[in-house]
Amino acid sequence: MTNALVQYAVSDGVATLILDSPHNRNALSRRLVSELFEGFDRAEADDDVRVVVLTASGSVFCSGADLAEASDDGMEDGARRIVDLQRRIVGSDKPVVARVQGAVRAGGTGVVAAADIAICADDVTFALTEVRLGLAAAVISLTVLPRLTSRAAARTFLTGETFDAGAAAAMGLVTTAVPQEQLDDEVGRVVDDLRKGHPQGLRESKRLVNAELLARIDESGADVADLSARLFGSEDAREAMAAFLARRQER
């Protein structure tokens, strides 16, 4: 589907979902999130699929929430959908590998953190920029915080600073960072190992590994979604987002 925001392809037991929304830097718009759900549903229903690879086109893997939508319509539904998306990735019966080739910002970090294995090119950068817009990384804290050390969490959540792939690997946000030219080879090696797993073995092993993470999402998902919506709707955040979008349009 050339007009889809999420491209879907299957080959050799691997379903690949490609974020392909260049007009908004692969932001988590309502349509893109809906198409991601559709992609995961297709992969789950296909008995020939053993592994799901989540990647993106362009220089940005995912820029986070769609601020234009949030500014116009609020984030009540959007926040809940991002919670549900993280749960969908964590709770999938099939292992999900994030192939991260471009910049990751804000809510996109939650998508990377939700994946079972995240392989990142070493020129990728990350930033939890919510704090600079009068927001907090509330919804994505469900998956990001369990991956990080407490010191790393405090620094990245409070400063909003940009950090590189090596730092992301050191703090546990991604599994490994490799040179850009080795990214596909490394993803291929991991996928080959995963394909050797029996479907039942993969399913039950993933349930063991992710039990605490799923429980966290189920226990706190509604609360952090409410917090996120409240912050997005605040006057301070609306002013900050409007200024940010205006600066972006000037570039």
Task: Give the pLDDT confidence of 10-48 residue by residue, as tens digits.
Answer: 999 999 999 999 999 999 999 999 999 999 999 999 999
Percentage with pLDDT > 90 across the chain: 90
> If you average pLDDT over every residue of the chain, what do you get?
95
pLDDT score recorded for residue 1: 56
User: Does the pLDDT value for residue 249 go beyond 90?
Assistant: no
Q: What is the average pLDDT across 216-240?
A: 95
User: Does the pLDDT value for residue 2 go beyond 80?
Assistant: no
Domain extents in the chain = 6-195
Percentage with pLDDT > 70 across the chain: 98
User: Does the pLDDT value for residue 201 go beyond 60?
Assistant: yes
pLDDT score recorded for residue 25: 95
Assign domain 6-195 to a CATH class: alpha beta
User: Does the pLDDT value for residue 229 go beyond 60?
Assistant: yes
Instruction: Quickly tell me which residue has 């991991």 as its tokens.
Output: 190
Task: Give the pLDDT confidence of 129-147 residue by residue, as tens digits.
Answer: 999 999 999 999 999 999 9
Task: Give the pLDDT confidence of 54-107 residue by residue, as tens digits.
Answer: 999 999 999 999 988 887 777 899 999 999 999 999 999 999 999 999 999 999
User: Does the pLDDT value for residue 124 go beyond 90?
Assistant: yes
